[in-house]
Structure 1
Amino acid sequence: MTADNRFDIQLGDILSIPMMQGAEVLAGEKGLHNSIVSVNVIEVPDIVDWVRPGEFLLTTAYTFSDDISALERMIPELKNKKVCGIGIKTHRYITEVPARVLSIANEIDFPIISIPVDVPYGDLIKAIFNKIIGEQTRTLKQIFDFNNRVRDIMLRHGGMKAIAEQIYQISRSPVVICDEVFRDSYFYCPDPKKEAQIVDDYNRLIANVFSRAPSVEPDVTGRSARVGNTKIIRYSIPIYYDNMRYGVIYLWDTNHMIRQRDLFVLESATSLIALDILNRITLVDRENVHRSTFLEKLLSSDEKEQENAIENADYYL
């Protein structure tokens, strides 16, 4: 996951702002999941050269009132610039957004939102930035709380199954942690309906996950998994520590509700999960040393060494 979108909120989130109560999505509804990082006002025709990815643009459409075709041309350009959407105050300089403009926006999933005419730009911009900052703060708190819960599980030797349960609490999705060192898997899903949805894909995944070479890409990925006649996005979050891969977390988005910031929260704890695996490696290595020492003493020609091995067999084994 790139650093650029880890803390972003979706454009659709700003519709919950009280000032946006009278707003209406006119076109490009499928693009409401676009990330919004800032807000800007456009009332000049050459704004395209100055916009930034993730910007939500506000306009009264004054610039386009005499030449609405300019707006038709601008919409695809804004999409190419990765602008997240545009808010238009109608009933000021244009009575409505032309059908041709809405059609173009729908074709490319570019959101056009009608902004209530009585909403001041300054107040709306402030409210949107407060929303963005508030969501970012909430994400940071989620990261802090989730890492603390994982750390607490590790200190109590709660095991991977308990960590998988915590992942489910955030994602509300079936989850499996695959330990590629010990070739173990830990599945958690308390919802039988969700489990039934993904069981075939889960079985195929587990049958192959330890038989193929792990991906060298340390990034979060999402792939469509065929489930009956539908497709569910299966996310994979690699478990890395100190540039070494120890496993992977798989999530099935059965509710279509997993967001980028949810994945970021989960990704933030992967180094802790890797350390849990690393601690297990250290423990196994120590046990192997003890067993080797026991066998050396037991097979020694020195009777005292043999007696010591027998007396301390419980410790060594």
Structure 2
Amino acid sequence: MKLDAAIENTVLREATVVAGEAAMDREITWVHIVDHPEITNWLKPGELLLTTGYNWPVDDEECRVMVRRLSEIGLAGVVLAVPHFREHFTQAAIDEANRCHLPLLELPWEIQFSEIMHDVLARIINIQAETIRRSDHIHRTLTEAALEGNNLEGLAKALYSALDKNATVVSVDGTVLGASASGVDEAVERALVKKITEHESLSDFFESNAPKVVTERVECPRLGGAIRLRGEVMGVVWLHSEQADFEELDSRALEHAAVIAALHLTYQRQLSDQETRLGYAFVAGLLEGKFSATPSAIERAQASGWGESRNYRVCLVLLN
């Protein structure tokens, strides 16, 4: 749960934000109470620190050093109970926190820390449980799409059904292999891939298996997942959103979809190889006038770089 959501939905609504307002989207992983001289030795990234300020430094320079160390740890924020041991955060602490983008909150002394812990942690657990439930639903939806569908359009539509975000599957050159929305402009997809690969390969761009957010060179933010087979990038699954704030669930679903797409393209590649060995290659079928424009046949053509809407010149050479 993010800090701003906790302030809006829990007892932390009684707190006053005095610094770090630009970093209110920090994720809270745990709530920790520490009043100890060596406070930094007891904290971990993502924790929301609750303190009475009993051992908080008084000297301005020591305050700045403390805030810098807490920021380096990666805390979600610091909540100070006032005005028992401390009337307020010192101005030095506030100035340094604004510089480091560390949220500082002041909470009325009457509100018990146990109430904050119970309220915030209960909501974090509920969010995690809901994430697991939705993740299971998405997994089943994508798996069913893989088993029942015969093309990647079904996978894209399954992503849209599960996440309410449009999805597009493209090959390494931007050829559209499947899309949840109609009328996808293939020229735009090709231009995006071309722009990305001007300075680096798709393998370098998607250097890890984790999906990557793209906000430049696109009309709306995208989350991209590489379709890999034996280390080779075979294509990309894109999720489209009006905002760049993708959830962890989106990344999980995209990773699963990329695996399914890789299996599907592998199958199509093997099928195409088999057709070639049997003398029914795609090009031969076209020239002989025997091509059957089934969804799977069209998809294999697109995976090979052929497009339905593009024009081609064919040269026939008769050999003796």
- Tell me what 1:6 maps to: none
Structural mapping, 1:49-198, within 5 Å:
49-64=41-56, 66-67=58-59, 70-157=62-149, 159-169=151-161, 173-180=165-172, 183-189=175-181
Q: Does 1:41 align with 2:33?
A: yes
Residue identity matched to 2:109: V
Deviations 1:34-87 (Å, cap 9, x if unpaired)? Answer: 232222112123211332122211112222375465433211111111222111
The farther-off stretch of 9-18 and 22-31 is 9-18
CA distance in 2, matches of 1:220, 1:57: 31
* Helix, strand or coil at the partner of 2:49: strand
Residue identity matched to 1:12: D
CA distance in 1, matches of 2:70, 2:246: 27
Shift of 1:167: 3.0
Q: 1:277 to 1:209 in 2, by over 3 A?
A: farther
Shift of 1:225: 0.4
Answer whether contact 1:176 1:187 (CA < 8 A) is retained. yes
- Tell me what 1:259 maps to: 247
> What's the TM-score once normalised by structure 1's chain length?
0.72
Picking from 179, 183, 192, the partner of 1:205 is 192
- Tell me what 1:26 maps to: 18
CA distance in 2, matches of 1:100, 1:209: 45
* Helix, strand or coil at the partner of 1:268: helix
- Tell me what 1:225 maps to: 216
Residue identity matched to 1:78: L
Q: 1:103 to 1:24 in 2, by over 3 A?
A: same
CA distance in 2, matches of 1:280, 1:180: 15
* Helix, strand or coil at the partner of 2:125: helix
- Tell me what 2:267 maps to: 279
* Helix, strand or coil at the partner of 2:159: helix
- Tell me what 1:312 maps to: none
| % identity of equivalent residues | 19
Shift of 1:17: 4.0
Higher RCO, Cα 8 Å, sep 6+: 1
Residue identity matched to 2:192: L
CA distance in 2, matches of 1:68, 1:42: 21
Q: 1:64 to 1:201 in 2, by over 3 A?
A: farther
Deviations 1:218-245 (Å, cap 9, x if unpaired)? Answer: 33223440568xxx64432112356554
- Tell me what 2:291 maps to: none
Structure 1 unpaired stretches of 5+: 1-8, 294-316
Answer whether contact 1:20 1:116 (CA < 8 A) is retained. no
Shift of 1:33: 2.4
Residue identity matched to 2:125: I
RMSD, matched Cα: 3.6
Shift of 1:208: 5.2
Structure 2 unpaired stretches of 5+: 282-296, 298-320
CA distance in 1, matches of 2:190, 2:173: 20
The farther-off stretch of 37-46 and 259-268 is 259-268
CA distance in 1, matches of 2:269, 2:186: 30
Q: 1:182 to 1:76 in 2, by over 3 A?
A: closer
- Tell me what 1:235 maps to: 223
Q: 1:174 to 1:153 in 2, by over 3 A?
A: closer
Residue identity matched to 1:34: R
